[in-house]
C-alpha cells in the first residue's frame, strides 16, 4: 500500500442541477488521453458513492500530489449563472462525511484539503475548512 498523506476534495465543475456520474468523468479523462477516471471516488448529486481508481493506484487529480493522495470528486460545482458554487445536497454531504470518516480510520494522520489549497483553482467550489469544522471531522 502506498503512503497516503492527503485527501484532496474536488468538484466536477458541472451544473448543480444536472445529472453526471463517474461514467461521464471516465469518458472526459479518457478524452484527455488518461487511462480513465483520475479520482478514487466520485459522489453524485443523489449521494451515490462511486469507486474510481483503486486506492492503491496513484490517482490523476492534482499535479504534485497524486502519489500521496486520495482524490474525491463531488458532482456539481456551478450555480444557475454558471459561477463556481458547489451547493452540496444533503445526501452528498452525508456520503462525503461517511467516506472521509472511513478513510481517516484507515489513514489517521491524513490531511484533508480542497484542490484550491494545492493548485490555482477554486475547486471544489466550497470552503473545505469551514465544512470540516462544521462537520467536526
* Residues classed as catalytic: 10, 39, 115, 121, 123
> Where would I find the beta strands (DSSP E) of 1-137?
6-11, 14-15, 41-43, 49-51, 69-74, 77-78, 111-114
Partners of residue 113 on adjacent β-strands: 8
103: DSSP letter: H
Burial of 37 (0-12, 13-18, 19+ CB in 10 A): buried
Q: How would you classify the pairing of strands 49-51 and 41-43?
A: antiparallel
The residue written with cell numbers 483520475 in the block is: 38
Rounded to 5°, angle at Cα 68 from 64 and 73: 80
Amino acid at each position: 500500500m502506498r503512503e497516503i498523506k492527503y485527501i484532496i476534495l474536488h468538484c466536477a465543475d458541472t451544473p448543480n442541477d444536472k445529472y453526471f456520474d463517474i461514467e461521464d468523468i471516465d469518458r472526459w479523462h479518457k478524452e484527455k488521453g488518461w487511462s480513465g477516471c483520475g479520482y478514487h471516488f466520485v459522489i453524485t448529486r443523489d449521494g451515490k458513492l462511486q469507486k474510481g481508481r483503486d486506492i492503491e493506484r496513484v490517482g490523476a487529480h492534482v499535479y504534485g500530489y497524486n502519489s500521496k493522495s486520495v482524490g474525491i470528486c463531488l458532482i456539481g460545482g456551478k450555480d444557475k449563472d454558471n459561477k463556481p458554487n458547489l451547493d452540496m445536497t444533503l445526501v452528498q454531504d452525508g456520503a462525503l462525511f461517511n467516506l472521509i470518516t472511513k478513510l481517516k480510520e484507515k489513514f489517521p494522520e491524513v490531511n484533508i484539503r480542497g484542490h484550491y489549497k494545492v493548485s490555482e483553482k477554486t475547486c471544489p467550489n466550497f470552503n473545505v475548512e469551514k465544512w470540516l469544522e462544521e462537520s467536526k471531522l
